[in-house]
Amino acid sequence: MEIFHDYEVGENCLLIDINFSSKPELNAELSELNGLVHAANWQISATVCAKRSLPDPKYFCGSGKLDEIKKIIDNNQIDLVVFNHAITPSQERNIEKALNCKVIDRTRLILEIFSQRAQTHEGKLQVELAQLNYVATRLVRGWTHLERQKGGIGMRGGPGETQLELDRRMLRQKIAQIEKRLEKVKKQRALSRTARQKNAVPTIAFVGYTNAGKSTLFNKLSGAQVLAKDQLFATLDPTLRKVIIPKLGEVVLSDTVGFIRNLPHNLVEAFHATLEEAIEADLLVHVIDYADEHHRAYIEQVHLVLEQIHAADKPIIQVYNKIDRLEDVKAHIIYHKDKPADVYLSAQTGQGIQFLYEAVAKYFNQQWLKGVLVLSTKHAKVRAELYQLGAVEKETISDSGEYQLALHIAKSDFDEICAHNKLELIAKFSHH
């Protein structure tokens, strides 16, 4: 069943951005829309900006503005209209009918880019799931040409309605199949993480606004060949690499999909399995394009997405990247008492990479406990929890029958076990 089609590379687009706030229009939002369209390999022929207090229920931008857009389309041989907003299926139908032109919204634009970028099996599954969920709300469009009047005795609708129900059922089945396959991927990831935890290998996830230089920094540290282009969503699939951090040892780095402003909630849900690397990581490295004048707004957007995926409380090293593009900014590190350090560097030139190594090593060396914990037999439940975490390296039994557990455990995990069992165990823990 052909539900949707991909748009062609090189299509001529008209961009529409409506400012619904009382604040001055943010050039950053329009700049990002331009970046998204270029990432889809389309050509921008014209841009229309407008202000409204509320979206028009029928045409989103209003009938007067639509007449203006129609003239621009006819004069410039435009193939595609792209809204920098989420529009409803009925608005999309009405606008297409009025303009006699293909119309997509911001969510569909991002899905187009994702479909071009996905390389791995998991990435392709997640794109397909997101597309199917999106199209499910717009399925009626495919059957508007069929009869909808009531039929004869016992009939509740015409053939179009019957076909529509069949396709909805097929969609639901397809979505269920993909969700099952993604659940398998999720379990495989969980097994890999458990193995890493048992080996006490710290995990670090790179997060950040798309195009901040995450993949360039990831490549610099790991020697990986992750695609690093000056383009939004250049990297979609997660990549994991083991690296050696000086004064610390082996860690696992993971590169995740870049975040953007107003990332649609359903896309966050669809890419939850990929973002799990950030959710489950011991430490996040938030890469920031320090040379971008809007970097403060982008930092806020990244924190909003981290809240959406329930990772906002993770410890974060903030990396201010691209200092090579700024005058009078040198590579340096700033330490804090209550949180990990901030690092200023250039992933492109390698300036300041040693400060990032230093910040990571300092964080984990402070936050990991290594030593022997002595437990009485009545605390067998605590012992079991420590084994489940993979924190026990060796165990002996004392002459008095107590457990002597050689541990290598994250302090946060140790604190959580103490709180969960309402115990104060640190007095029984001798550090090595």
**Structure confidence at residue 369 as a pLDDT band (50, 70, 90):** confident
As given in the structure block, the two tokens for residue 377 are 């037999």
Inform me whether the pLDDT recorded for 159 exceeds 70: no
- pLDDT for position 397: 93
Residue 332 has pLDDT above 70, yes or no: yes
Residue with tokens 């901040």: 212
Q: Report the share of the chain in percent with pLDDT over 90.
A: 33
Q: Between residues 304 and 227, which one has the greater pLDDT?
A: 304
Asked if residues 359 and 418 have their Cβ atoms less than 8 Å apart, the reply is no
| Residue-level pLDDT at 303 | 92
| Residue 144: band (very low, low, confident or very high) from pLDDT cuts 50, 70, 90 | very low
First to last CA, the chain: 64
Residue 339 tokens read as: 């949180």
pLDDT of residue 81: 94
Question: Is pLDDT of 349 > 90?
Answer: yes
CATH architecture type of domain 199-366? 3-Layer(aba) Sandwich (3.40)
- The three-state secondary structure class of 124 is helix
- Separation of alpha carbons 314 and 206, rounded Å: 12
Query: Can you give the pLDDT at residue 147?
Result: 41
Strand spans (E) along 183-341: 203-208, 239-245, 249-255, 283-289, 316-321, 332-334
**Which tens digits make up the pLDDT trace of 168-203?**
888 889 989 988 988 888 787 777 766 666 566 889
**Domain 376-431 = CATH 3.90.640:** no
Whether 12-104 shares its CATH topology with 199-366 is answered yes
User: Span 200-218, mean pLDDT?
Assistant: 88
401 or 421, which is more confident: 401
Integer Cα distance of 250 and 20 in angstroms: 50
Question: Which is more confidently placed, 428 or 298?
Answer: 298
> Residue 1: its pLDDT value, please?
41
| Contact in structure between 154 and 141 (CB atoms under 8 Å) | no
Boundaries of every domain in the chain: 12-104, 118-183, 199-366, 376-431
Q: Check residue 28 and give its pLDDT.
A: 64
pLDDT tens digits, 290-331: 999 889 988 998 998 888 888 888 999 999 999 999 999 999
Superfamily name with CATH number, domain 12-104: GTPase HflX, N-terminal domain (3.40.50.11060)
Q: Is the pLDDT of residue 3 over 70?
A: no
Residue 268 has pLDDT above 80, yes or no: no
pLDDT at 95: 95
Q: How confident is the model at residue 371 (pLDDT cuts 50, 70, 90)?
A: confident
Between CA 193 and CA 204 the distance in angstroms is: 12
Is the confidence at residue 33, as pLDDT, over 60? yes
Q: Look at residue 116 and tell me whether its pLDDT is greater than 90.
A: no
Name which of 197, 359, 213 is nearest 280 in CA terms.
197
45 vs 72: CA distance, rounded Å: 9
pTM for this prediction: 0.69
pLDDT at 410 over 80: no
Q: In this predicted structure, which of 37-46, 158-167, 259-268, 273-282 has the lowest mean pLDDT?
A: 158-167
Query: Mean pLDDT across the chain, nearest whole number?
Result: 82
Q: What is the DSSP letter of 234?
A: S
